[in-house]
A and B are shown apart, each in its own frame.
Chain A
Amino acid sequence: MLDAFSRAVISADAKTAAIGGGEIAALKGFIAEGNKRLDAVNAITSNASCIVSDAVTGMICENTGLIQAGGNCYPNRRMAACLRDGEIVLRYISYALLAGDASVLDDRCLNGLKETYVALGVPLQSAARAVSIMKASSTAHINETNTTGTNPVETRFRKMETVQGDCSALVAEAASYFDRVISALS
């Protein structure tokens, strides 16, 4: 597993070059923006169960066949497996965001995931849809643009206490990790 720092080392070693100039400047940027990165990770982890359950619910609302007899989220046992997998994917994305590198996500989560789902008969399109809903709500949490949605008395609604737009640079990075999962499933 690598992070932004060890990634720089691995790529420099492949060229037999010392790390200097532009690479050091990029790592200094990582350090300067470090607290924002931690805030972004915190935005995901603090709202993890909300993000996961909303994504799975949304996926089912769009395709109610999933919870009818014979659907892939029927019975509860399979629905529970679906929620668990959503949480696992989100957890590895939070690791990748913390490390600033996708290798942990690739090696420990996505490697063989598609093949496993195909073998188990999990519909890849639905799984990818749940991940894309998680992407929308996670980036909204990081960027402080989340709303109560269509339910004005949503009791789980929570805004993080960071300055709005402060973590905008991290939004793109987080989105890229979700996109990585989606493309691995399709």
Chain B
Amino acid sequence: MKSVATTVVTAADAAGRFPSQNDLEAVQGNIQRAAARLEAAEKLAAGLDKVTKEAGDACFNKYPYLRQPGEAGENQTKVDKCYRDLGHYLRLINYCLVVGGTGPLDEWGIAGAREVYRTLRLPTAAYVEALTYTRDRACSPRDMSPQALNEFKAYLDYAINALS
């Protein structure tokens, strides 16, 4: 998985050389940028359940038809699964913020998602609505610092685009 130091190490290993000055500089650059990302990850982890609930509520408010018989949220079990999935997406965004790349979202969230949702006849628009609500609801400095918020929203946008 691409992360703060792995890209540099992979390149150095492919060339069969010790980490060069450039490699060390590159890692240092990644490390300096990591502070804002870790702040966002920390704040998101602390409020994960609350954020998940708000996002799910927003989604069912916008699309109340989902609760009708024959739809994706026809009973409580299915509704709970919807909230669980949103929790998964936010948890993967938390991971992305830690490693500083989209690897976790790509590998565990987006790969195969379209096929699964089509087979289960789930509307991706509902997920998009929930994540969009989260993105627009998050604000600085109430939730986190501006730089951290920027990182957080970038990954939300990435998930939204992948599901749209």
Contact = CB atoms under 8 A, between A and B. Distances in A.
A77 to B, nearest CB: 20
Interface string B1-35: 10111101110110011111101100110011011
B24 A2 contact: no
B46 A20 contact: yes
Interface stretch (B37-45, B75-83, B128-136): B37-45
A132 to B, nearest CB: 20
B99 interface: yes
Q: Is the interface of B mostly helix, strand, loop or mixed?
A: helix
Interface string A1-36: 111111011101100111111001001101100110
B8 to A, nearest CB: 7
A2 B1 contact: yes
Contact of B45 (A6, A21, A28, A100): A21
Nearest to A99: B5
Interface string B33-66: 0110010011011101000000000000000000
Contacts of B28: 34-35, 38
B95 A19 contact: yes
Size category of the B interface is 35 or more
Contacts of B90: 18
A35 B32 CA distance: 10
B98 interface: yes
Given A19-B41, A48-B18, A1 B95 contact: no
A139 interface: no
Interface string B104-139: 100010000000000000000000000000000000
A38 B16 CA distance: 19
A41 interface: yes
Listed from nearest, the 3 A-B pairs whose CB atoms lie closest are A20-B45, A34-B31, A18-B45
